[in-house]
Amino acid sequence: MTSAESRSQRAEEILNRWEESRQPFILYLRDFKVTMRHGQGFLLENHLSVQHSLAVDKVGVLTIVDQNEVPLPGASGHGAPALVLPHDKWQEVVADLIGKASMIVSEVPVLGPGAAFELQTCIEKKKAGSTVLIIPAPGGPFSLLDDHPVIRHFPRVIWYDEIPELSAAKLFVFDDLMERAKAIAQVNPEERRALTDEGGLIAKFPIKFGGLVTGYQALAVRYEQMGDLTRASRNYFRALVAAAASEDKAAIVDISLRMVQLQLVVKNFDLATNYLNGAMKIALELGDASRISRLHGVQLDLMRLQSASRLPAIPQISEYFRQDRSQSVFPNDRNPGDDSNSAWLAAMSDSVEPVFLGAAVLERVCPGDRFNARFVAYIEAERERVKGLLNQLSPDSKVILDTQSCHWPAKAKVTVRLEAPGLTIANAEKVFEWSGRFNLVDFQVEVPADARETRTFLRFWATVEGSQAIYELAVDIHVGAKPSESAAKWSFPENKTFVSYAHEDRDLVRTCLTAVQVTSALRLHVDFKDLEPNVEWKQDLERLILDCDKFLLFWCCHARASKWVTWELEVAQRAKGPKAITICPLQQPTEVPPPVGFEHIHVDSAFLQGGNAHKNIP
């Protein structure tokens, strides 16, 4: 059977399972003429297909191909199940598949007529919320599509260069939809058929957007730390769209506030005013005095940066005070027209030393972890003392200093609030009296035991009594999920592992490694360069094998024929023994028997399905 025939057969099996029991599947749509590669050249459709072939609850990944398409050859070529469509019926078939799919992934390098039809069909069939769009990134060869009217219907949009090479399926735009598909797959077939045919599936398994809101904000925070405010702004906007889709008004206000602050940095006052107006309108609807106060502080910043004559009025704030002046939320009963806050700041800048802000937080946490997030304010003379103290109190944390400069009077009352989406904070608000030298506050944070792998962020907000200024400090963190039962089978220990393979298989090995959910501490020595081993660095290679704790061998006819793979295995056997060696076959043992000395080991591998899905090894 050829590779094309195998792909077609597996595609038919996926559709047959849907017809028989409404077994969910993922539809992968792509351009027939343009191939979007990710990371070091892998095809995302292959990665998703292999990822699900390793899972206990298999959810098929189905692609479609043109009848005249010539698949890309080799290990990095097309390998996922594929349905061949005739020219005269492709729209009818694609529309039917979109209606049936539990999740849709669409690569859109160019928004041509075919892609436009597919996306419009997703919208008409109410599948926009369960569709992930992969579009061109800034600086690439294709035109940007972010602001296209059709694209704006979709809350799940990601640039192709934002997809990680490892564990791409765990990216927040995919993750919750994949888990939803797996949950549907676990339902009794008769019940699943009834839910699907009677329209009850969406009620029992609703599509949620909370992970999107957090994921986009975490990505934006990372871009801010890198100094790329353009990409940060785009991801905050995506978070805003996701918050609107989930009808999370509080999140809309908070994200809009951050958008205003970024626009002030780049001095786009008109856009800042638009976001401020929208945020204030929603905050007033919520009756949220705290958020209204924060928005007012940002408005004062905007007024200081732009002349009042050019600044569009913000009637919602004035209306708020007309409604209830006796319950002013602003310190000292100030109103937005009062310029005393600006005078306060000016006086402070001339009379006290600058105050710098910093923090110490863990960059990676796991479900069930409890940790301290520390916020610090200090003057320049105390910087080294503060740094040493944070390193002593938080040796495993990332220490961030000198993020902002501000001016506070001695004994000023400072309120610090911590925001951490998806995490639990014992007391999210702390108050201290500024000592004039340095102050440090601790927040106790807990990761829920059932937390799944994602990226989130910690954001500190600081305000000072007598001022409407808001000081912000944000750090992104990674929540590492506990490995699933199936992933644990193919997870490797927390040590250094040497990966041995034939260079003809390097792309396939890369694909397999990206598909496996490995532990966070795994360190691999793996060479993906187009080099062959040679005598000159043989000694160094032997040292690397001896230095590693484990030896992982990807085994097939190419590895069996490679003198260097044979030599590497001999070194590992001699130095480590068989218990330190794991054999990952890429072909059936009946085709290529295990290496000598490993005949007794059961080597049936999930990689076999992934390997055969990507190429026919001659």
Average pLDDT, stretch 570-587? 84
CATH code where residue 10 lies: 3.40.50
pTM score, two decimals?
A: 0.64
Q: Which amino acid is at 442?
A: D
Question: Which one of 146, 173, 207 terminates a domain?
Answer: 207
CA angle 117, 122, 128 (to 5 degrees): 135
Is 344 part of any domain? no
CB 208 within 8 A of CB 216: no
**In this structure, what token pair is assigned to residue 314?**
């913000």
**Paired strand residues for 371:** 445
Q: Is residue 511 part of a domain?
A: yes
Query: Does 340 map to a domain?
Result: no
- What 3-state DSSP class applies to 348? helix
* Residue 342 is assigned to a structural domain of this protein: no
Residue 123 structural domain: 3-207
For residue 85 the two structure tokens come to: 């469509």
User: What one-letter code names the amino acid at 322?
Assistant: R
The Cα 267–Cα 263 span in angstroms is 6
pLDDT in tens, 19-52: 999 999 999 998 766 666 665 556 676 666 655 5
What is the pLDDT, as a whole number, of residue 450? 86
Measured at the CA of 173, the angle between CA 167 and CA 179, to 5 degrees, comes to 75
At a CB cut-off of 8 Å and minimum separation 6, what does 482 contact?
366, 367
Distance CA 462, CA 375 (A): 10
CA-CA distance, 591 to 518, in Å (whole number)?
A: 28
Q: How far apart are CA 75 and CA 65, in angstroms?
A: 18
Q: For 57, phi and psi rounded to 5 degrees?
A: -95, 90
Interval 148-173: pLDDT, tens: 999 999 999 999 888 887 677 788 99
* Strand partners for 133: 106, 157
Please give the biggest Cα pair distance in the chain: 86
Query: How far apart are the C-alpha atoms of 499 and 573, rounded to whole Å?
Result: 14
- Count other Cβ atoms within 10 Å, centred on residue 207: 19
CB 595 within 8 A of CB 500: no
- Of 479, 513, 545, the position where a domain reaches its end is 479
Give yes or no: residues 82 and 124 share one domain. Answer: yes
| Cα 134–Cα 250–Cα 296 angle in degrees, nearest 5 | 115
Contacts 24+ apart (CB under 8 A), 323-329: 327/289, 329/289, 329/290, 329/292, 329/293
CATH number at residue 471: 2.60.40.10
Rounded to the nearest integer, the mean pLDDT of the chain is 77
Higher-confidence position of 116 and 334: 116
Q: Check: CB of residue 601 under 8 Å from CB of residue 583.
A: yes
Residue of 535, 532, 594, 527 lying closest to 562 (CA atoms):
532
- 14 and 146 in a single domain? The answer is yes
What's the rounded Cα separation, in Å, for the pair 584 and 598?
12
Cα Rg, the chain, nearest whole Å: 28
DSSP 227-281: T-HHHHHHHHHHHHHHHHHTT-HHHHHHHHHHHHHHHHHTT-HHHHHHHHHHHHH
pLDDT at 397: 86
pLDDT band at 540 (very low <50, low <70, confident <90, very high): low
Shared domain check, 238 and 181: no
Average pLDDT over residues 80-100: 84
DSSP string, 373-404: EEEEEE-GGGHHHHHHHHHHH-TTSEEE----
How many whole angstroms separate alpha carbon 185 and alpha carbon 191? Answer: 11
Query: What span, in angstroms and rounded, lies between the C-alpha atoms of 407 and 402?
Result: 14
Could you tell me if 368 and 451 lie in one domain?
yes
| Co-location of 197 and 225 in the same domain | no
Between helix 289-305 and helix 249-265 the angle, nearest 10°, is 20
| Residue 600 CB contacts under 8 Å (≥ 6 apart), including other chains | none
Residue % of the chain over a pLDDT of 90: 26
- pLDDT at residue 174 greater than cutoff 80: yes
The phi, psi pair for 434, rounded to 5°, reads: -60, 125
| Averaged pLDDT for residues 333-345 | 40
Q: Are 43 and 65 in contact (CB under 8 A)?
A: no
When pLDDT is cut at 50, 70 and 90, the band that residue 85 belongs to is confident
Any domain includes 343: no
Residues 41 and 183 in one domain: yes
pLDDT, residue 528, reads 41
pLDDT score of 195: 92
Residue 168 sits in the same domain as residue 64: yes
Q: Is residue 346 part of a domain?
A: no
Residue 183 has pLDDT above 50, yes or no: yes
Q: How many domains are there within the chain?
A: 4
Q: Are residues 61 and 177 in the same domain?
A: yes
Span 296-305, pLDDT tens digits: 777 777 777 6
For residue 615, give the amino acid letter: K
Most confident of 99-103, 451-455, 550-554: 99-103
* Beta strand 355-361 pairing with 370-378: antiparallel
33 with 172, same domain: the answer is: yes
Instruction: Give the rounded percent of residues in the chain with a pLDDT score beyond 70.
Output: 74
**Does the structure show a pLDDT above 70 at 314?**
no
What is the rounded average pLDDT of the residues 179-187? Answer: 91
Phi then psi dihedrals of residue 35, to 5 deg: -105, 125
User: Rounded distance, CA 500 to CA 554, Å?
Assistant: 6
In a domain, 266, yes or no: yes
Q: Is pLDDT of 403 > 90?
A: no
Higher pLDDT, 592 or 52: 592
pLDDT at 424 over 80: yes
Phi and psi, residue 467, nearest 5° = -135, 150
User: How confident is residue 618, by pLDDT bands cut at 50, 70 and 90?
Assistant: very low
What is the arithmetic mean of pLDDT over 259-267?
83
DSSP label at 38? B
Residue with tokens 């187009």: 530
* Higher pLDDT pick, 437 / 512: 437
pLDDT at position 487, please?
40
Q: How confident is the model at residue 324 (pLDDT cuts 50, 70, 90)?
A: very low
Residue 217 forms part of a structural domain: yes
**Alpha carbon distances (Å) from 508 to 74, 192, 298:** 9, 35, 52
pLDDT at 325: 28
Report the CATH number that the domain containing residue 544 is assigned in CATH: 3.40.50.10140
One domain, residues 511 and 536: yes
pLDDT value at 312 more than 50: no
> Which residue's entry shows tokens 């969910």?
24
pLDDT digits (tens, 9 = 90+) for 518-527: 433 345 555 4
Same structural domain for residues 154 and 9? Answer: yes
> Taking residues 584-591, what's their average pLDDT?
80
Residue 494 has pLDDT above 60, yes or no: no
pLDDT of residue 43: 66
Does 398 have pLDDT greater than 50? Answer: yes
The pLDDT score that the predictor gives to residue 358 is 92
**Per-residue pLDDT, 586:** 81
Provide CB contacts within 8 A for 329, sequence distance 6+: 289, 290, 292, 293
> Are both 222 and 190 inside the same structural domain?
no
Domain boundary among 151, 180, 207: 207
Query: What pLDDT sits at residue 495?
Result: 56
Average pLDDT over residues 314-321: 37
So what's the pLDDT on residue 318? 36
Please report the sign of the dihedral spanned by the C-alpha atoms of residue 47, residue 53, residue 57, residue 60.
positive
Print the SS3 string covering 56-115. Answer: CCCCEEEEEEECCCCCCCCCCCCCCCEEEECCCCHHHHHHHHHHHCCEEEEECCCCCHHH
